[in-house]
Amino acid sequence: MSLTQEKQEKKQSNVVPMIIVAGLFFILGFVTWLNGSLMPYLQQVLQLSPFQASLILFSFYIAVTFTALPSALVIRKVGYKNGMALGLATMTFAALLFIPAAKTQMFPLFLLAQLVMGAGQTLLQTAVNPYVVRIGPEESAAARISIMGILNKGAGVVAPIVFTALILSGFTDTVGVELTQGQIDDMANSLITPYLGLAIFIGVLAFGIKKAPLPELPSEEEEGEHKGQLKEALAHPNLALGVVALFLYVAVEVIAGDTIGAFALALGVESYSVMTSYTMACMVFGYILGITLIPRFISQQKALMVSAVFGLVLSLGVILGDNNSFAIANSLSFILGGAQLPDTLILIAFLGLANAIVWPAIFPLALSGMGKLTSVGSALLVMGISGGAFGPLFWSIASGSSGQAVDLQGGYIVMLPCYLFILFYAVKGCNMKSWK
């Protein structure tokens, strides 16, 4: 057999696994960005304060903090394929937990369901991300990661629309009014069938992954297992500051994607449950823009600077904007389909465009020059996802307890220091090779 034929056969053998993995990335995005609709919905049904509502996101993202390292150990013991199946099985159990939570309307049970969902998602991510890199040629890994990223964010466009169609379509004129107990019961019970369907779908997928023709990848020993390597890695300012920058980036990404619905609810927007789709659509566009422009026309570092400045400008626009102005919606009516949305809401959605290429830019800049410490550096950077737990929490604290739109609007001030730090990292932090 010739070398060309061998390469061709290997390429063909990777097609089915990559299609399966692409489906898993879509599921990951769907479950993650479903939170943008779930948060304001539960806030309305359970009559939660902004702080309580932020715990819905906190319980999901905080799972990354304490399950990331155990997930890596699980993958090393059972392998990538079984790790994917276990992650999906955990997510199936989490989806089933929403049924008793909806029936009893117990807020702590919803938080437990979110925590378990976050843990399952972390396990799945830990297995599927390295799989994408190692299933094909190293030189095309970046292209595969970019495609998976678009699928992940694309699912964020679809998830709120599906949520609205399946759960909210039967409820009209419920925004801005005091709900009766009957309405609350009906809205809570409307979660049962969709989440049962989600559990069945993910459960069948878990079984399918177990039986799928996914080749098992050889395990790699972690290079950072000996004592002192963590300290050695953090001695590199570009990595240590990169971890902080990624933490703050995920914080603002989740604020923009998952609190926009709660803000829209406070503004009396009937379509509050689909608002996350707007942010995610902007993010997908930004992702495609980044793939097109970087590094052909603009460097990663300069793209990060532009993103940070754009984020600062948009954040100021949200904080200082007029909630009764619809000028942007009127000028973009051909894109928005005539939807009448306040300027402040659209500016939050535009943050998706500012945030899109921050992760792809920070990650390589932070790992530059790390050498044998690359694996431990990558693990530290992934831990930055826990910023998604704290961003909405700080936003809710800054917003106060009133739940009024003007107070929620003021809460977005917490994004300013985040973007300022990201700008500092883009200008100076990523080039620092020593703390001296």
Instruction: Give the domain CATH number at 35.
Output: 1.20.1250.20
Q: Are residues 251 and 367 in the same domain?
A: yes
**Domain stop point among 192, 216, 240:** 216
Q: pTM value?
A: 0.80
CA Rg value for the chain: 22
The pLDDT of residue 222 is 47
Q: Are residues 232 and 295 in the same domain?
A: yes
Q: Are residues 233 and 97 in the same domain?
A: no
Number of domains in the chain: 2
The pLDDT of residue 13 is 58
**Domain stop point among 216, 234, 259:** 216
Q: Are residues 367 and 434 in the same domain?
A: yes
DSSP string, 173-231: S-TTSPPPHHHHHHHHHTTHHHHHHHHHHHHHHHHHHHHS-PPPPPP---TT-STTHHH
Q: Are residues 192 and 296 in the same domain?
A: no
Asked whether residue 72 is domain-assigned, the answer is yes
Asked whether residue 101 is domain-assigned, the answer is yes
Give the three-state DSSP class for 401: coil
The pLDDT of residue 336 is 65
Q: What is the mean pLDDT of each run of 10 residues along the chain (436 residues)?
A: 48 70 87 85 87 90 82 82 91 95 93 94 82 65 71 85 78 67 86 91 90 68 53 83 92 91 87 85 85 79 91 95 88 71 92 86 79 71 83 90 86 95 92 80
Q: Are residues 394 and 247 in the same domain?
A: yes
The pLDDT of residue 226 is 44
Q: Which domain holds residue 235?
A: 225-436
The HSE-up count of residue 44 (CA atoms within 13 Å, CB side) is 31
Q: Which amino acid, residue 295?
A: P
Dig out the tokens for 431 from the structure: 């080039």
Q: Are residues 168 and 205 in the same domain?
A: yes
Whether 224 contacts 375, CB under 8 Å: yes
Q: Are residues 333 and 385 in the same domain?
A: yes
Q: Are residues 212 and 249 in the same domain?
A: no
Asked whether residue 7 is domain-assigned, the answer is no
Dig out the tokens for 206 from the structure: 């878990």
Asked whether residue 2 is domain-assigned, the answer is no
Q: Are residues 155 and 289 in the same domain?
A: no
The pLDDT of residue 3 is 47
Asked whether residue 6 is domain-assigned, the answer is no
